[in-house]
Chains A and B, each alone.
Chain A
Amino acid sequence: MDTLANVIVSSILLGGVYFILSLGLNIILGVLDIVNFAHGALIILGAYSTFLINRALHWDPFILVLVDMVVVGVIGAVLYLCYLRFTVNSPLVRMFALIGFNSVVAALLLIFMGSDYRTVPIDLGTWYLGPIPIRVTQVIAFAFAIALGVITIVLLNRTKVGKAVKAVTDDRTSVQLAGINDRRLSLLAFTVGAGLAGAAGGIISTYVTFGSESGLAFAIIAFAIVIVGGLGDIWGGAVASLLVALVLTGVTVYLSSALTNTALFLLVLFVLLVRPRGILGRGRV
Chain B
Amino acid sequence: MSTHLSRARRVSMAAGVALAGLVLASCGGGDLDEKDASEPIQIGLIEPMSGPFADNGTQADRGASLCVEQINEAGGIAALDGAQLQLVKQDTGNAQPAQVANQAQSLIDNNDLSAMIGAWASSYTLAIAPVMEQNGMPLLTESFADDIVAQGYQFIFKIPAAASVMGEQGVTVVLDLAEANNYDISKAAMVTENTSSAQVSAAGAVGMLESRGIEITGEEYFAPGLTDANSLAIKVLAGDPDFLFAQGGLADMKILQEALAAQGYEGPILGSGSALVNPHYFSTVGEPANGAFTSAGWNWDLPGAEEFVKQFTEANEEFDFPGQEAGEDCVAVYAIAAALEEAGSRDPKAVRDALSTISITEGPGSMVANGALEFEDNGALKDATPVIVQWQDGKPRTVFPEDIATAEPIFTQ
CB within 8 Å of B: which residues of A? 3, 6-7, 10, 14, 110, 114-117, 119, 121, 123, 126, 133-135, 138, 207-211, 213-214, 217-218, 221, 248-249, 252-253, 256-258, 261
Contact = CB atoms under 8 A, between A and B. Distances in A.
A115 B262 contact: no
Given A115-B51, A213-B52, A248 B228 contact: yes
B198 to A, nearest CB: 13
Contacts of B52: 211, 213
B221 A214 contact: no
Interface stretch (B247-255, B300-308, B385-393): B247-255
A218 B226 CA distance: 10
Do most interface residues of chain B lie in helix, strand or loop, or is the interface mixed?
mixed
B280 A209 contact: no
Given A209-B250, A213-B94, A257-B221, A252 B232 contact: yes
Contacts of B231: 7, 10, 248-249, 252-253, 257
Given A209-B254, A252-B232, A252-B235, A257 B223 contact: yes
Contacts of A261: 223
A111 to B, nearest CB: 10
B254 A119 contact: yes
Contact of B58 (A14, A115, A207, A248): A115
Interface in B263-302: 263-264, 280, 284, 286
Contact of A14 (B223, B228, B255): B228
B251 A210 contact: yes
Nearest to B288: A123
Given A209-B254, A248-B228, A3 B234 contact: yes
A247 B285 CA distance: 28
Contacts of B228: 14, 208, 248-249
Interface in B202-239: 220-223, 225-228, 230-232, 234-235, 238
A133 B251 contact: no
Interface string B167-188: 0000000000000000000000
A258 B222 CA distance: 6
B227 A253 contact: no
Contacts of A135: 258, 262
Contacts of A249: 228, 230-231, 234
B55 A116 contact: yes
Contact of B250 (A10, A117, A208, A248): A117
Given A115-B55, A217-B227, A253-B231, A208 B220 contact: no
Given A117-B55, A208-B227, A252-B234, 6 more contacts: A14-B230, A117-B251, A117-B254, A126-B262, A207-B255, A252-B231
Nearest to B249: A117
A94 B227 CA distance: 28
A115 B54 contact: yes
B363 to A, nearest CB: 31
Contact of A256 (B54, B220, B238, B262): B220
Nearest to B225: A217
Given A209-B254, A209-B255, A210-B251, A10 B230 contact: yes
Contacts of A6: 234, 263
Contacts of B361: none
Contacts of B94: 213
Contacts of B221: 256-258
B235 A253 contact: yes
A209 B220 CA distance: 21
A256 B192 CA distance: 12
Max chain A C-beta neighbours (<10 A), residue from B55, B220, B223, B235: B235
B234 to A, nearest CB: 5
Given A6-B234, A248-B228, A214 B251 contact: yes
A248 B255 CA distance: 16
Contacts of A126: 262
B286 A123 contact: yes
Contacts of A209: 250-252, 254-255, 284
B106 interface: no
Given A209-B255, A211-B251, A214-B251, A116 B280 contact: yes
A202 to B, nearest CB: 15
Contacts of B232: 252, 257
Interface in B44-60: 49-52, 54-55, 58
A121 B285 CA distance: 10
8 contacts: A115-B51, A119-B284, A134-B262, A135-B262, A208-B228, A208-B255, A209-B254, A258-B221
B194 interface: yes
A110 B91 CA distance: 13
A253 B238 contact: yes
A258 B238 contact: no
A207 B257 CA distance: 12
Contacts of A7: 231, 234
B251 A253 contact: no
